[in-house]
């Protein structure tokens, strides 16, 4: 998918060496509804330390992109000594995950932007599919 965008990479990073981008996988629902599958996140790689103390609600809470030995994760993290805990939001229905720093995980950067598609088929839960909802074009009474 990223290869199809061509010059979009330059637009995302704006030529700034401290910016990179990451990709949220098609089946990654760990941060739903805040990050949808197939989103692209803009990362500030100069911020590699978890800061989890200055936020008022889930929209203010910083997200980070981390590299594991077998893949990546993007989301809310809390560092407790030498352990890094990923804490998905309750609507995602995903369990928290824990890794040892630095043996199992490395912080790539802080998420500073998101590019996402809205209302894609993978963002609708099966029980919310149009066939089940009936006529969705009707106005609410």
Q: Where are the domains of the chain?
A: 2-125
Confidence at 86, pLDDT banded by 50, 70, 90: very high
Q: Between residues 99 and 14, which one has the greater pLDDT?
A: 99
pLDDT of the residue at 127: 52
| DSSP type of residue 129 | S
Using DSSP's 3-state secondary structure scheme, residue 64 falls into strand
Asked whether the beta carbons of 41 and 21 are under 8 A apart, the reply is yes
Q: Mean pLDDT across the stretch 76-91?
A: 96
User: Looking at domain 2-125, does it have CATH number 2.10.109.10?
Assistant: yes
pLDDT for 50-71, tens place per residue?
A: 998 889 999 999 999 999 999 9
Give the separation between CA 119 and CA 12, rounded to whole angstroms.
22
Q: In this structure, are residues 67 and 45 in contact, taking their beta carbons and an 8 Å threshold?
A: no
Whether the bond between 117 and the residue before it is cis, its omega within 30 degrees of 0, is: no
- Write out pLDDT tens, residues 98-136: 999 999 999 999 999 998 877 765 555 555 444 434 444
Prediction pTM value: 0.78
């Amino acid at each position: 998918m990223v290869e199809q965008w061509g010059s979009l990479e330059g637009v995302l990073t704006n030529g700034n060496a401290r910016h990179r981008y990451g990709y949220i996988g098609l089946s990654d629902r760990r941060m739903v509804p805040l990050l949808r599958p197939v989103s692209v996140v803009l990362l500030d790689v100069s911020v590699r330390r978890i800061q989890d103390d200055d936020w008022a609600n889930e929209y203010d809470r910083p997200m980070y992109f981390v590299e594991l030995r077998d893949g990546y994760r993007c989301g809310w993290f809390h560092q407790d000594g030498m352990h890094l805990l990923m804490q998905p939001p309750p609507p995602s229905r995903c369990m928290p995950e824990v890794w040892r720093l630095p043996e199992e995980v490395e912080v790539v950067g802080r998420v500073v932007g998101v590019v996402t598609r809205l209302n894609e088929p993978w963002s609708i839960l099966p029980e919310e599919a149009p066939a089940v909802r009936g006529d969705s074009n009707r106005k609410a009474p």
